[in-house]
Amino acid sequence: MSRYADDLGCACRFCSEADWLYQARPQRRGTCTGEVALEQTRRLHCSRVHPGRTRRVTCVGFACFWTEDRQGVPRVKRRTARKTWQRACTRSKAWMQAKRHVPGRAFFNGLKARLRGHYRYYGVHGNSPALHRFCAWAMTCACKWRNRRGGKRRRFSGTRVTRRLDAVPRARPRITEPSRRSVSA
């Protein structure tokens, strides 16, 4: 799993492969520009013998864990990590709080851009529930901060925020990762 050029997560089937990759990593990285941060590099054990969400590994903003897919085959699934999701909510809330007095179209254009960026990074297969949860949270937070502008303005409800976001073509939660079938080797 690679997200941008400087973040990488690798899964190996055997411990010997992981040891070899861990030893060969500095030499292979030496051909590229940039340094390897040894304090951020580590080897973690994640077994498919006992699948479940309790045994998860956090990597590049995702919680990775083994679980069975619809066909009963064990697969590595990815969800937005809890701390990452909370950090995204905190940043979005601070932005909405600071920009609540901006005129409607500019506010909702900025909100749309933030939602679109979140969907593009975290829009991987299996993470759809987290995307929809973030979208619902953003709508609730937008209602809250648009209603706290002071003065005698009309109140914003959930339907009114949805209509405003539909007027500015809204970024809907969707999977942006290419399908596994279309990826060529």
Model confidence pLDDT, tens digit, residues 3-16: 555 666 676 767 78
Which tens digits make up the pLDDT trace of 107-143? 988 998 999 999 988 988 889 999 999 998 998 898 8
Whole-model pTM?
A: 0.74
What DSSP letter does each residue of the chain carry, written as one string? Answer: -EETTTEE----SSHHHHHHHHHHHHHHHTTSSS---GGG-------SSS-STTSEEEETTEEEEEEE-TTS-EEEEEEE-HHHHHHHHHHHHHHHHHTTTS-HHHHHHHHHHHHHHHHHHH--TT-HHHHHHHHHHHHHHHHHHHHTS-SS-PPP-HHHHHHHHHHS--------SPPTTT---
